[in-house]
A and B are shown apart, each in its own frame.
Chain A
Amino acid sequence: MNTPTLSLDQLPKDAAAVVRQLRGGGELVHRLAAMGLTVGARLVVLQNSGHGPMLVSVRDTRIALGRGEAIKVLVEKTAA
């Protein structure tokens, strides 16, 4: 992989990305997966005000994530 990965919380509103890696314990990974956030999933950032929770659209679902959780999702930016 040549394109740099960054954590989800760094993406601005309307940015599109692909999930590359999930950090954190098995339970968190499992909960993220059940909501559709897995490696390879395409997402679009719907809201990110820079602090507090953020909202992403993934697999036709709007998912609110705390910042602590968003930091653990590593993504690669794609063209929208």
Chain B
Amino acid sequence: MTPATGERKPMLIGLAGQPNVGKSTVFNLLTGLSQHVGNWPGKTVERREGTFLHEGAQLRVVDLPGTYSLTANSPEERIARDFILHERPDVIIMIADAAALERNLYLLAELLLLPVPVVLGLNMMDVARAEGVEIEPHVLAAALGLPVIPMEASRARGVAELASEALRLARDPAGFSPSRPEIAEPHREVLASVRAILGEQVPQPYQTHWVAMKLLEGDREVTALARAWLPGKAWEKIAAILAAHEDAVADIAAGRYEWIGRMVRAAVRRPRLGQVSLTDRLDRYALHPFWGLLILLAAFTLVFALTFQIAAPVQAWLDTVVVAALRARVAEALAGSPLWLTGLLADGVLGGAGIVLTFLPILLVFFIALGLLEDTGYFARAGYVMDRFMHHLGLHGKSFLPLCLGFGCNVPAVMGARVIESRSGRLLTILLAPLVPCSARLLVLAFLATAFFHEQALFVAIGFVIANLVVLAITGVVLSHTLFRGEHMAFIMELPLYHAPNARSIARFAWANTWSFLRKAGSLILLISVLIWALSYFPGAGLEDSYLARFGHGLAPIGDMLGLDWRLLVALLASFVAKENAIAALGILYGSAQGAGLAETLAATVPPASALSFIAATMLFIPCAATIAVMRQETGSWGWTLFGVALLLVIALGAAALVYQACRLLGFGLG
């Protein structure tokens, strides 16, 4: 049957659920390959939707962001409820974790206040059983007055039944009358009087009862809306009631859990209460103040070892074989054409594209390794262990994951700061993220340390990475005691159960982060690479006389203080495009394109004190163009973005000057 012979238009389904309930797995099972990924309008949150055919009807599923509740505390929660209010889905499928049923039903309690029928998918029935919880779905369904489908999405069980029930409810929504939670006794009359004042003045698609409830909960968005809807006097009355009952929010929540308790009482049995689960046993070590740190250190050593063992050879091969061959081919094909055209294509375009290409393997392997840690549930533990330390920087444990992404690429690190609820915490994480040495800078460091310090290269490199993190810590401490003083960030985080990693979700994690590098960095690196090439080529009388060189000479006074000559300054500036450009620029400026040759030339011409100063400046220099672009996107403010850039500029130049002047005082390595 074709969809045209079924319903006139596809049924719209919203897929809701709290975080860590296996919602993505259900979405993938429902929609298969028909997925479309975009952004919610005006938001940086990903919107995924897909279509599928079921029993002759065409269904369109929109995956809502995972949220614990539906109050406008975060962009995700606002998106989820705005979708339900404004796009009017025919039915909501809510996925719940059967192993933590009560907390999951809190979201259901909120969903049932909205005018849409709901089907409940009880996922992870197997996990619940293993935890000693027995649930009878039909008893729960009878209590709630809505369809409840037991599921094990990891084994694709229950998904077809879920779709059938959703379709049945979407076709016949009239019969939907579930049990709904009520506000606890002390505030029932207060709610009634707010409703009475609201009267008929709440416009579609909002509903009076829901608006009154959200007002009592102190929801900022609904408060602003109601103020606009109501005449001044009526609003003043409501504002007075709300001010006198600020504690209503606790009552509303308590009322919901009281309702949940009644709903699950007959349906849930716990024959083996008190057993120690695998998760608790593992957590004794993973969260231990001492063993936890040791495990974290081991996990990270493993991630980096994997990344550089597997990906570095692939990168070197891509760089020396594939990209070099392509460049040679281009130069050959353009043999008869003007020199500038060959230069533009071979050095500008292919140079930039080559950078993007050769970084893919490193990023992919790194993010797959991190994805593995994230998917087993370990990463939340790492955040817990690091929370104490992060507090000194004015951050908390949740900032740890985004900062870790930064070791791969600063772009996903800045974007990853979205997981932090408070704006000030997000801002501070974004400002600090560029101080995490990304894989590009680590490569530059490895190259320069080897070129200058041969046997001691490893110690120098490790020293610089540690110094980098120390600078990050100091900057965090200083910022949190000055600009961000008095901002307390609440640390409340669910630690999910450990579970076997799922290849598909790891692939999704790795791809999403790598893609953010490709999309942002890819185009920008290419563009600026061409620009820098043009500056170094024109007016055409050789590099020594190029615009780039003239600019470098102009900066000589600063260079003297840092012990950097104009070529090192220009290489530093070139790292703005992409950090590893520093080496490419040195190659051009010191007249040696070959990697090995360059190392020798550098060691012979640059005194060690200048080399140290140059490495320090490169490691701490302003974020690359792509990172700046996402900093602007995520902060929504040029002010903060430029502040971040200026901050790093001061830090980098300050550190380089410090290193060089210290060397001078000690009479070390002045050549």
Contacts and interface: CB of A to CB of B under 8 A. Distances in A.
Nearest to B18: A34
Contacts of B289: 49, 52
B492 A29 contact: no
Interface in B233-291: 246, 249-250, 253-254, 256-258, 279-280, 283, 287, 289
Interface in A37-72: 38-41, 46-47, 49, 51-53, 55, 58-66, 68-69
Given A55-B384, A61-B100, A31 B249 contact: no
B634 interface: no
B388 A53 contact: yes
Contacts, number: 124
A63 B69 contact: no
Interface string B420-454: 01000000000000000000000000000000000
B395 to A, nearest CB: 11
A36 to B, nearest CB: 4
A17 interface: no
B73 A30 contact: yes
Given A62-B494, A69-B492, A34 B250 contact: no
A64 B492 contact: yes
B103 interface: yes
A62 B380 CA distance: 11
A65 B492 contact: yes
B495 interface: yes
Q: Is the interface of A mostly helix, strand, loop or mixed?
A: mixed
A52 B387 contact: yes
B257 A40 contact: yes
Contact of A63 (B133, B246, B494, B497): B494
B128 to A, nearest CB: 9
Contacts of B488: 68
A60 B253 contact: no
Q: How large is the interface on B (under 10, 10 to 19, 20 to 34, 35 or more residues)?
A: 35 or more
Contacts of A40: 254, 257-258
Contact of A38 (B68, B218, B253): B253
B493 interface: yes
A22 B250 contact: yes
B101 interface: yes
B399 to A, nearest CB: 12
A74 to B, nearest CB: 12
Interface centre among B68, B103, B254 (most CB of A within 10 A): B103
B133 A32 contact: no
Given A61-B494, A65-B492, A69-B492, A38 B384 contact: no
B217 A26 contact: yes
B388 A36 contact: no
Contacts of A47: 283, 287
Given A31-B492, A53-B491, A68-B491, 5 more contacts: A46-B283, A53-B384, A53-B388, A55-B384, A69-B490
10 residue pairs, one from A and one from B, having the closest CB atoms = A66-B491, A33-B253, A52-B388, A34-B69, A26-B218, A34-B68, A36-B103, A62-B495, A60-B100, A59-B102
29 contacts: A26-B218, A29-B250, A30-B69, A30-B71, A33-B249, A33-B257, A34-B71, A34-B106, A36-B103, A41-B257, A46-B280, A46-B283, A51-B388, A52-B391, A53-B397, A53-B491, A55-B287, A55-B495, A59-B103, A62-B279, A63-B492, A63-B494, A64-B383, A64-B384, A64-B495, A66-B391, A66-B490, A69-B490, A69-B491
Interface of B: 68-69, 71, 73, 99-103, 106-107, 131, 133, 217-218, 246, 249-250, 253-254, 256-258, 279-280, 283, 287, 289, 380, 383-384, 387-388, 391, 396-397, 421, 488, 490-497
